[in-house]
Amino acid sequence: MSKNELDKALELVDAEAKKIGISRREAFKLAGLGSAAYLMGGTSESQAATVAQASEAKGKILIIGGGLAGMSTAARLATTLTSPDITVIEPLSKSVSYQAGTTLVAGGIYEKSDILYNTKDFLPAGVKLIKDSAVEFNPDANKVVLGSGETLSYDFLVIAAGITLDFGKIKGLEEVGDAYTAGDSSKILKAFGDSGITSIYNTDTAEATWIQMQKFIQKAKNGEKVKGIFTHPSTAIKCGGAPKKIMNLTHSRLVEAGARDNAELRYYVNGSNMFGVKEYHDAILKQFEVRNLKWNYKHNLTAVDIKNKTAFFDKRWDEKGPYDEDLEEYSTITKHQEVEVPFDFMHITPPMKAPDVIAKSAVGSGKGWVPVNKETLQHVKYKNIFSLGDIAAVPMGKTGGSVRKQYKVLVDNLISAMEGKELTAKYGGYTVCPLITDIGKVMLAEFDWTKKPTPSFPLDPTEERYIWWLLKVYMLKPMTQYGMLSGKA
Ligand SMILES: Cc1cc2nc3c(=O)[nH]c(=O)nc-3n(C[C@H](O)[C@H](O)[C@H](O)COP(=O)(O)OP(=O)(O)OC[C@H]3O[C@@H](n4cnc5c(N)ncnc54)[C@H](O)[C@@H]3O)c2cc1C
């Protein structure tokens, strides 16, 4: 981002903040973005960035995954420990830590180059990076085997290997198999081709989404009646709001082109609501109604016929079953039906899972995610192992916003463990989803394990606002990329 862009963004934030009677500093602080304010020069570092207490604790720390969670943790450990011995294992030479930016790439607001960077350029000073993957875990012997065959030993292990996109689970996309947000996308791009199928969950396919979206809009502009469909799978996903964001952006671009009336936009979600927090669910329904967006609950994408541009969903519903004499009530039978939906444009949110090498190892769990105490982030079985980010078995924790809270807790607790002290830092379940509802509008959905809105700002959190758009488009990227990856924000 150039200085001019930044100045312009800050001016806009100032103007918006003024309208609601607060200063820029207050706006950032109240929005829980104190560190962003620091990065923008709006406040002092001591006010904004939380700096951990220096520690002389010693120990060999191995971090699996050099994405947002792994690198932020490495950076904070490196600045906190007086004699750090930290190694990060990361297979990718190019990374994306502000993955929320892929939605903006797909909507034609960012370029891919705005979010993709050389992994090594963000390696904290004093941290060693090995370009490889962990392929085997032996937690009883404190050892990890790498793809190269090398075995590394550790005193403390941090698992931050993110999430795997399980495209291969969808019939018709088997050859794509597993994929990741950054990294090789050739199989996905080949499978999707020019079919109108897209996904913002990979950086390259996000770029292709913008091209496919424009073709879709052009058809509508030419007078064709077109149909765009957007899916949400049955598994946990990172950033549950993202499938709706790309639908909303498609709507905005169609309106901009004067072609909205020729397009039907429909959201197929496996669950039976729009959002796990009732207040945000209600707000989203209203937003959908205002924008004439359609939806179907309890529809899970199971297959695609790419050639014939048809999606297949497992539709389910409950019916009253036989009367149970013992329980004195009717049982419920879940019925299923395959539903065929033709499309011109389809956005797939793939099913997601923990990377197999970790899920199926001794440090994984039945469901794959690394089992940790949800507050301390310490492994439930191995006390010298910690985990955070998308791979950790933490409820509702699969967002960058959660990582921002988690990595500081993890570092405090890891250092306590190194010093032989009790773990006292606790993650409280905070997460945030800046839900793009239109170009220029975002609803800042903040919540925690109470499943109630937890706004950092004294304003109705269910309202769409321009100021949150400015934060999302201009502020959160530098805050993530420069603030978190330096262990400060
Ligand atoms: C489309 C989209 C929109 C999003 N929108 C938002 C949003 O608006 N707000 C928000 O807060 N969050 C959002 N997120 C989610 C957020 O980006 C993630 O939750 C966050 O990046 C998680 O960080 P992580 O470090 O756990 O995973 P990642 O950043 O994905 O890093 C994991 C790293 O582990 C590496 N790895 C994998 N396997 C191994 C192995 N075996 N050995 C070594 N390394 C390995 C990978 O290469 C990767 O670099 C969005 C994500 C996407 C894709």
pTM reported for the whole predicted model: 0.92
Confidence of residue 369 (pLDDT cuts 50, 70, 90): very high
Catalytic pick among 86, 127, 134, 433: 433
What is the pLDDT at residue 459?
A: 85
Give domain 166-352's CATH number out of 3.40.47.10, 3.40.30.10, 3.40.50.410, 3.50.50.100: 3.50.50.100
Q: Is the CB of 252 under 6 A from ligand 1?
A: no
What is the sign, positive or negative, of the torsion defined by CA atoms of 472, 474, 480, 484?
negative
The Å distance, Cα 225 to ligand 1 centre, comes to 37
The 10s digit of each residue's pLDDT in 455-471 is: 887 889 999 999 899 98
How is residue 318 written in tokens? 């409950």
Confidence of residue 26 (pLDDT cuts 50, 70, 90): low
Which residue has a Cα nearest atom 38 of ligand 1? 161
Confidence of residue 43 (pLDDT cuts 50, 70, 90): very low
Q: How many CB atoms lie within 10 A of CB 216?
A: 25
Shortest-distance atom of ligand 1 to CA 183: 47
Average pLDDT over residues 403-412: 96
The Å distance, Cα 72 to ligand 1 centre, comes to 12
Q: How many CB atoms lie within 10 A of CB 459?
A: 16
What is the pLDDT at residue 4?
A: 56
What is the pLDDT at residue 16?
A: 61
The Å distance, Cα 485 to ligand 1 centre, comes to 13
Q: Which one is predicted more confidently, 327 or 286?
A: 286
The Å distance, Cα 113 to ligand 1 centre, comes to 17
Q: Is the CB of 207 under 6 A from ligand 1?
A: no
First to last CA, the chain: 18
The mean of the pLDDT values for the chain is 91
Residue 50 has pLDDT above 70, yes or no: no
Shortest-distance atom of ligand 1 to CA 400: 11
Q: Is the CB of 65 under 6 A from ligand 1?
A: yes
What does DSSP assign to residue 467? H
What is the pLDDT at residue 326?
A: 87
Q: Is the CB of 443 under 6 A from ligand 1?
A: no
CA distance 449 to 463: 21
166-352 shares the fold of 3-13+38-162+354-430+476-486:
yes
CA distance 460 to 376: 31
Q: Is the CB of 69 under 6 A from ligand 1?
A: yes
Q: Which one is predicted more confidently, 2 or 445?
A: 445
Q: Is the CB of 364 under 6 A from ligand 1?
A: no
Residue 51 has pLDDT above 80, yes or no: no
Q: Is the CB of 95 under 6 A from ligand 1?
A: yes
Catalytic pick among 123, 239, 425, 444: 239
Q: Is 305 exposed, middle or buried (0-12, 13-18, 19+ CB in 10 A)?
A: middle
Confidence of residue 327 (pLDDT cuts 50, 70, 90): confident
Shortest-distance atom of ligand 1 to CA 103: 1
Give domain 3-13+38-162+354-430+476-486's CATH number out of 3.50.50.60, 3.30.420.40, 3.40.50.1400, 3.40.50.2300: 3.50.50.60
The 10s digit of each residue's pLDDT in 160-176 is: 999 999 999 999 999 99
The Å distance, Cα 102 to ligand 1 centre, comes to 12
Confidence of residue 1 (pLDDT cuts 50, 70, 90): very low
Catalytic status, residue 433: yes
Residue 30 has pLDDT above 70, yes or no: no
Residue 46 has pLDDT above 50, yes or no: no
The 10s digit of each residue's pLDDT in 268-315 is: 999 999 999 999 999 999 999 999 999 999 999 999 999 999 999 999
The Å distance, Cα 452 to ligand 1 centre, comes to 25
Which residue has a Cα nearest atom 30 of ligand 1? 162
The 10s digit of each residue's pLDDT in 142-162 is: 999 999 999 999 999 999 999
Residue 47 has pLDDT above 60, yes or no: no
Among 126-130, 361-365, 456-460, where is mean pLDDT lowest?
456-460
Give the residue extent of every domain in the chain. Answer: 3-13+38-162+354-430+476-486, 166-352
What is the pLDDT at residue 149?
A: 98
Residue 27 has pLDDT above 90, yes or no: no
Q: Is the CB of 403 under 6 A from ligand 1?
A: yes
Which residue has a Cα nearest atom 2 of ligand 1? 100
The 10s digit of each residue's pLDDT in 339-362 is: 999 999 999 999 999 999 999 999
Residue 44 has pLDDT above 60, yes or no: no
What is the pLDDT at residue 8?
A: 62
What is the pLDDT at residue 458?
A: 81
Q: Is the CB of 361 under 6 A from ligand 1?
A: no
CA distance 118 to 2: 19
What is the pLDDT at residue 475?
A: 87
